[in-house]
Amino acid sequence: MDDPDLNNPAIADVTTLVGMRFGTRDLKFFPRRMARTSLMGGHHSRTRGRGMDFEEVRQYQPGDDIRSIDWRVTARTLTPHTKLFREERERPILVITDLRPNMFFGSKMLKSITACQLAAALGWAGLNANDRVGGLIIGAEQHREIRARRSSHSVLQLIHQLRDFSELLTHSVPGKYSMIDIMRDTRRVALPGSTLFLISDFHDLNKDCEQHLFELARHCDVNLCQIHDPLEKQLPPPALYQVSDGNQQFSLNARSRELREEFEQHFLRHQARLRQLCTQLRMGLMAFETGTSVMPILQQTYSRKKSGRHP
């Protein structure tokens, strides 16, 4: 029998999400930043001390471990020198995906579908980097937590949960979760030293959310991934449109110059606020538009051909 969900534009396609793995092999995620956890793993820390890899030789300073003195350099320069080592740290990756009713909108592709594709790509890229990958998916009335593991099964579990949560919700279902609830749950599951990717349109981001982001950014590498649709940037061509949310219907006069300008300014103000917040808290920010592939932006930001610094 034919799968009734096949080719349904409101439901994320598992085959597509699994196939995102092949486009993520050349991505290198992590910015150069201090590790804030004592867990061992595959990412270097600026914390000085004995570790896995030799870093450099410098002049001996009071308090240095005399066991690390480089006697050859000391003998050659007649000045005490010591070896420095860089420690390794683990950075679990948590992909937080907003699949609340606000994400089920799009002129070419639903924001929820773009969010699912981005979440899958981030999960595969983290696994390719030999990191533990987990996630948190938030729907209208429930959420699912995927424990971080260094296993393809963890990413596949994430993908199947994304598919289940992407089923189009009826507009009669009330939204239980707000952005501040997402922030609280993220703080609950995020361990210090984690790399977080928060995928949402951030339409209800407020001052209370900013305080939670501040606390997260103190201990984690936080990256906001904003999903938006072209219709959120600019109204359609001037005309009189009938608009419905599934329950109510009203007329939208897109001929109004004042309405068009205010609509565009609202989007620009929202973008400026996100950029300012990310600058203040030293968080990453990426913007993805529905109907376009998520891979070009990820490759531009995290390609191994880049210097490795965070945007």
Q: What are the sequence ranges of the domains in the chain?
A: 14-33+96-302, 43-89
Residues facing residue 86 across a β-bridge: 48
Whole-number pLDDT of residue 42: 46
Whole-number pLDDT of residue 264: 94
Cα distances (Å, whole numbers) of residue 95 to 66, 154, 198, 201:
44, 12, 6, 15
Poorest-confidence range of 57-66, 130-139, 192-201? Answer: 57-66
Q: Mean pLDDT throughout 93-101?
A: 94
Q: Which residues contact 116 (CB under 8 A, 6 or more apart)?
A: 12, 17, 97, 99, 162, 163, 166
Mean pLDDT value across the chain: 83
- pLDDT at 170 exceeding the cut of 80: no
Whole-number pLDDT of residue 43: 47
Whole-number pLDDT of residue 200: 97
Whole-number pLDDT of residue 122: 94
pLDDT, tens only, 180-230: 999 999 999 998 889 999 999 999 999 999 999 999 998 899 999 999 999
The residue with greater pLDDT, 273 or 89, is 273
CATH of region 14-33+96-302? 3.40.50.410
Whole-number pLDDT of residue 83: 84
- pLDDT at 243 exceeding the cut of 90: no
In whole angstroms, give the CA distance from residue 228 to residue 260.
Answer: 17
| Percentage of the chain exceeding pLDDT 90 | 53
Query: What pTM, to 2 d.p., does this model score?
Result: 0.77
